[in-house]
A and B are shown apart, each in its own frame.
Chain A
Amino acid sequence: MYDFAYHKPSSLADAVKLLAEDPDAKPISGGMTLLPALKHRLNMPTALIDLSGIAELRGIKREGDAIVIGAMVKHFEVATDPQIMAAIPALARMAATIGDTQVRNRGTIGGSLANNDPAADYPAAALALGATLITDRRQIPADDFFVGMFTTAMEPGELLIGVSFPIPEKAGYAKLRNPASRYSMTGVFVAKGPKGVGVGVNGAASCAFRQKEMEAALAANWSPEAVANIRQPANDLNSDIHGSAEYRANLVTVMAKRAVADAG
């Protein structure tokens, strides 16, 4: 971690301008991922654009049949916001399980979605709920947003402003945490919503994905038993010192079952 410039713009326009001017600059929101990356020299931006001074990125609103959450909203706020707790309680519960107290009070939903860590929680919810990602220049459906490991559809210099979650009829979440890092080994978010049934899986593969076989089964029969015998193929799943691909495949089934039970 060495010399870099630091900017703290107070408007979205200024932030976008700073990013446009310096292709090696990076936005920083909670810094929970970016700062360790700098310390490990995985990332050496010329400038950090601190988004914490921008009012447009904050706030949680109900807009019609959706909950819209600003990019700078912290995990703790998602976990405790009365509107979210009423409309999408599973999302609030999910946020309450992210990392630890410190991480939840620094880390932001925008940072998490933009970062698209394979083991991050939110992407599974965004996929299952059919969320829309809002940037400074367009709106991107969740299905198109999460492209691959640590990769999204956003272009260089593009800034995530917020995310809009359609309010589901019911939704549930279950995950197995890595006992040390607390990151998801595999988590499954299930939702029965206006756009149909969604099943989003995190932690299992290089990028969060939808489990469409389970979606079909749940659309026909919303019950834990409906997914209990659906086996996720292990090829393409992660295999590491915490668990093999086969083990994660098993987790997809078990967590899906538990998520449906959680949704009720």
Chain B
Amino acid sequence: MSETRQMRHGSSIGQPVTRRDGLLKVTGQARFAADNHPAGLLHAVLAVSRIARGRVAALDLPAARAHPGVVEVMVTANRLALALHPDDKSVPFSFKLDLLQDDRVRYAGQPIAVVIAATLEAATEAAALLAPRYEAGPVEVTLDAPGGYVPESVGVGDPGEMRHGDVEAGLRAAARRIEATYETPLQFHNAMEPHGVVAAWEGDALSLDMPTQGLALTRMRLAALLGIRAEDIHIRSPFIGGGFGSKLLSGPQVLGILAARLVGRPVKLVLTRAQMYGPVTHRSPTRQTLRLGAARDGALTAIHHHVRTATSRHDDFLEPSAGVSHTLYAAPAIATTNEAVRLDTGTPGFMRAPGEASGSIALESAIDEMAHACGMDPLEFRLRNYAEVEPVSGKPFSSKALRECYAEGAARFGWAGRPLAPRQMRDEDGLLVGWGVGTATFPAIMFQAEARAVLRRDGTGLVESGTHDMGQGAWTAFAQIGADSLGLDLDRLEFRAGHSDLPNAGIAGGSGHTATAGGAIHAAGAQAIARLTEIAVADPRSPLFGAGNVGVVARGGRLLRRDDESRGEAYADILARAGLDSVEGRGSAAADPAAAERYAMHAHGAVFAEVKVDPELGQIRATRLVGAFAAGRIINPRLVRSQYYGGMIWGLSFALHERAAMDPRTGRVMNADLAEYHVPVNADVPSVEAILVEEQDPHVNALGIKGVGEIGITGTAGAIANAIWHATGTRIRRFPVAIEELGR
């Protein structure tokens, strides 16, 4: 450990380096999966179900096959046999897939056939010519569906019920009690880049251009499904046009691969925007009831957070919304409970802070309602209930600079002097103005990753790890970590990523990619330096000879004596003298169970929002957002700030824009496009600021990194909801806030 520590703090980590792939992206040279056109490429188009439950009774195959340009139509009958059932979920984080295994329809938008043709247009037309006939059954697609069950677990293995202390007693003892129910909508991912694949078989080897957030897991599952060796699958995923949890292996991508096998030619299959509302996971609606009790001085006596949510009829994923109540506010009694109902929809999944996002908007609204009930400023109320230790576990936090976040955010926003009562502020145009605050939180998660680092005789370095750049800046941040780990300037480092042949970098998810793969890269670099050090200190001809005990520092391509930095030697010279072309280090990283046993590990933040509401129309503008976040070590403040911006904008989207409307009769999404499924545009986001609050965490992992990818969405949505209340005096508990509920 001390060995690696002494090599940290190089020149790259902490610098606001611009994206290394930025020029490629703004000039259109970055090749996303669907930009690839291998010779002989055919185009595949999905035909998807228009019913949500039942079976496909007939497809007009002759009509589709007769259409000019059509090469083949893949249906259940001619789909190649698989080595693993598509429902098998033994690979971590996987869901059941719909791969034409039978004529059953489990949700609207499920693939029911694949048309392969010489052109996209021909395939699209032929898919329409299939004119499916169905036997449709009755559907349930909303939380009002009858029945339900109490799940044993939610999210990924979180307990379905958690009780700490006696909530009922806490509520009885309270001077103030509130009970309120909040509803969050069905949401779909809508990454800019649709899910797709360009698949080419060469014998039993498979070459894929395919966006994925988990190269190794994707390869593992593909190998099992296809019955081929993982080493024979080569996935290129250098750029991902947004993943947000939806881009692990999806069914349509497998269908593209099977289509290529069927026709013996490379095939491209890319979902249309509308087809992204079904087979590639979503966030289920939730109905959350919060019961809070507080003493006269505003100290919480109890929190009960109950969630009703939904999963598909055939598979399991339950949005773990109540989890935020475990960690955020101190209360002697906390209970979280869940109920679930099965619906005729695709299976929900990991979507932009799954659980934290939807839970946070409810908890933060309820906390605000309680602050008002206690006659307290909402920020003061949050500070009164500040959790010094993790409330449900009693564990200390590995680090927690939330108090500083509140203070810096409030100062920047100008929170002081906010009138306590709602509907007190107007702007010069007569619009109602309101201010709200929300607390942001997200756990510091780690997966497992490996990396390889090489120092080369020409004085350059190479780092390899199959990391994933979803736009967050992985190409840059990992290179910065790699450069520092090897004591090289950034421009002396070659970084290879985004390919399944490289060391397994785990997944880009759970806001844990930088911590995990960064840790592996850091360790690999440290090992390479350690090997080089061994060579140098053992070589009488080296100025570092015998420096083993005092130690060396690696910087700028040189090893330097720690006790006398004027004595040192360039890497290249050490290697040359030793007659070596290179030295190599390998590293891995994973969560440290001992640390997790001792500490609660979370990133935190405070978000302040200003909204303006037209009193006649109910139209809402989030005119100002200020977020202050503390998430351990910041590898690249420029990238981190833009992660926070993105998260905060998703939070705004959660509060004000996004909602998929289900037709309860057909089970189809009625607004499966970006014209009617609203996401924020620039005009909706006039001003966002993110403050990076200093936080050093010696426990969370070697580099002290927490995650920054998802935390911004939490806190923000609640802050906006609270600001709307403050502007109007109307508490809206159904999200996104509909203008018609305010315009009266």
Contact = CB atoms under 8 A, between A and B. Distances in A.
Interface of A: 2, 41, 176, 179-181, 241, 243-244, 246-247, 250-251, 254
Given A179-B678, A254-B617, A241 B740 contact: no
B740 A247 contact: yes
A2 B122 CA distance: 10
B678 A250 contact: no
A246 B616 contact: no
B676 A251 contact: no
B617 A2 contact: no
Given A246-B740, A250-B616, A254-B617, 8 more contacts: A41-B128, A179-B678, A180-B676, A181-B676, A241-B670, A243-B739, A244-B740, A247-B740
A76 B641 CA distance: 40
B744 A250 contact: yes
B671 A176 contact: no
Contacts of A250: 616, 743-744
Contacts of A246: 740
A2 B69 CA distance: 14
Question: Which 6 pairs, one residue from A and one from B, show the smallest C-beta to C-beta distance?
Answer: A247-B740, A254-B616, A241-B661, A244-B740, A180-B678, A243-B740
29 contacts: A2-B125, A41-B128, A176-B617, A176-B619, A179-B678, A179-B684, A180-B674, A180-B675, A180-B678, A181-B675, A241-B659, A241-B661, A241-B671, A241-B676, A243-B738, A243-B739, A243-B740, A244-B740, A246-B740, A247-B618, A247-B739, A247-B740, A247-B743, A250-B616, A250-B744, A251-B617, A251-B743, A254-B616, A254-B617
Contacts of A244: 740
Contacts of B128: 41
A263 B21 CA distance: 53
Contacts of A176: 617, 619
Contacts of A251: 617, 743
Contacts of A243: 738-740
> How big is chain B's contact interface, by range?
20 to 34
A243 B742 CA distance: 12
Contacts of B671: 241
Contacts of B740: 243-244, 246-247
A94 B294 CA distance: 54
Interface in B603-632: 616-619
Interface in B673-716: 674-676, 678, 684
Nearest to B618: A247
Max chain A Cβ within 10 angstroms of own Cβ: one of B128, B670, B739, B740: B740
Nearest to A177: B619
Contacts of B676: 180-181, 241
Interface in B721-739: 738-739
Nearest to A181: B675
Max chain A Cβ within 10 angstroms of own Cβ: one of B616, B618, B675, B744: B616
Contacts of B743: 247, 250-251
A12 to B, nearest CB: 34
A2 B119 CA distance: 14
Interface string B639-661: 00000000000000000000101
A14 B219 CA distance: 63
A244 B740 CA distance: 7
Contacts of A180: 674-676, 678
A240 to B, nearest CB: 9
Interface in B131-148: none
B7 to A, nearest CB: 52
Interface in B500-548: none
